[in-house]
Amino acid sequence: MTFDAPTFQQNSAKLDIGDIDFDAFKDQPLDAEALRCLRYMHDVESHTVCYLRDVLVTRAHRDPDITAFLTLWNYEEFWHGDAIGKVLAAHDEEAGATRIAELRQRLPKGDRWRPVGFQLASALTPHLTAVQMTWGAVNEWTTQAAYARLAKLADHPTLSILLKRIMKQEGRHIDFYSTEANGRLTNSRAAQRVTRWALRRFWAPVGSGVIEDQEVDFLRTYLFGDPDGLVFAERIDRRVDRLPGLHGLHLLAGAVAA
Ligand SMILES: [Fe+2]
Ligand SMILES: [Fe+2]
């Protein structure tokens, strides 16, 4: 669990899809469940810039290491959404700007108040950054596991190559968030208490509150609802357990059981 900022900044790049044969999906299309899953992933990856908005209004923006990472993270996530959009387009599904605009029109009214809520929380506790870094680690662990599960379930050679490349970049995001979370939690019992409370009270699978509830339910059942999926969920919970002060939250197992 280490992160080397200069190496990340040097290696950060637009996802390489130059050799991906998207026409292969026309000859060998994905099934309805895999496509439903990819719609969700497209929408969540494309929503990264909105999550970034909520982080930048907090005290996290004062940390140049965090803002350097977030700049490149947002860029990489954009291209993840774009690549998944190309898979959807190969199935004659709507993707890209039109789909993203529709999603943002459907966001709950409360979304406009999220930056205000984050600003307020940042004023109330100096430990919000620890919460955000830990939250980011859990979401990146979940995202990488979701891609691994989808690759296995869809069992499509072209999709597997694409998802493997995305997962490699998600791995570097994991390194950043988990290193930041670990450092901030190690240094402060108060940060541990605030983060533990926030995760227990507010954490939900990535995409919740943005994507419709029935799609969140579908995704967690489809990807993590069988014994193989549960192994992934429990592995993420063990990683959370290893962060200082966060033992025994069972976030993923709890979400799957729900
Ligand atoms: Fe991503
Ligand atoms: Fe990521």
Distance CA 249, CA 102 (A): 35
Distance 55 CA to ligand 1 centre (A): 17
Distance CA 63, CA 27 (A): 49
Of 229, 253, 258, nearest to 240 by C-alpha is 253
Contacts of 7 (CB under 8 A, 6+ apart): none
Q: Kindly identify the ligand whose nearest atom is closest to the C-alpha of 175.
A: 2
Which residues, in sequence order, are bridge partners of residue 211? 208
Residue with tokens 């050679």: 157
Distance 63 CA to ligand 2 centre (A): 20
Q: What percent of the chain has pLDDT over 70?
A: 100
Question: Considering Cα of 87, then 92, then 95, then 99, what sign does the dihedral take?
Answer: negative
Which residues, in sequence order, are bridge partners of residue 208? 211
- Going by the DSSP 8-state scheme, the letter that residue 197 receives in this structure is H
According to the model, what pLDDT value does residue 182 have?
Answer: 97
1 has a pLDDT exceeding 80: no
Q: Kindly identify the ligand whose nearest atom is closest to the C-alpha of 82.
A: 1
Q: pLDDT for 209-250, tens place per residue?
A: 999 999 999 999 999 999 999 999 999 999 999 999 999 999
CA separation, residue 78 to residues 2, 13, 74, 142, 192 (Å): 24, 11, 6, 18, 31
Distance 59 CA to ligand 2 centre (A): 21
Q: Kindly identify the ligand whose nearest atom is closest to the C-alpha of 138.
A: 2
pTM of the model: 0.96
Q: pLDDT for 94-151, tens place per residue?
A: 999 999 999 999 999 899 999 999 999 999 999 999 999 999 999 999 999 999 999 9
Distance 141 CA to ligand 2 centre (A): 9
The beta-carbon contacts of 159-164 under 8 Å, at least 24 apart in sequence, are 159/25, 159/30, 159/34, 159/87, 161/20, 162/17, 162/20, 162/83, 162/87
Distance 145 CA to ligand 1 centre (A): 11
Distance 189 CA to ligand 2 centre (A): 28
Query: Residue 128 in contact with residue 122, Cβ under 8 Å?
Result: yes
Question: Considering Cα of 50, then 56, then 57, then 59, what sign does the dihedral take?
Answer: positive
Q: Kindly identify the ligand whose nearest atom is closest to the C-alpha of 83.
A: 1
Q: Kindly identify the ligand whose nearest atom is closest to the C-alpha of 136.
A: 2
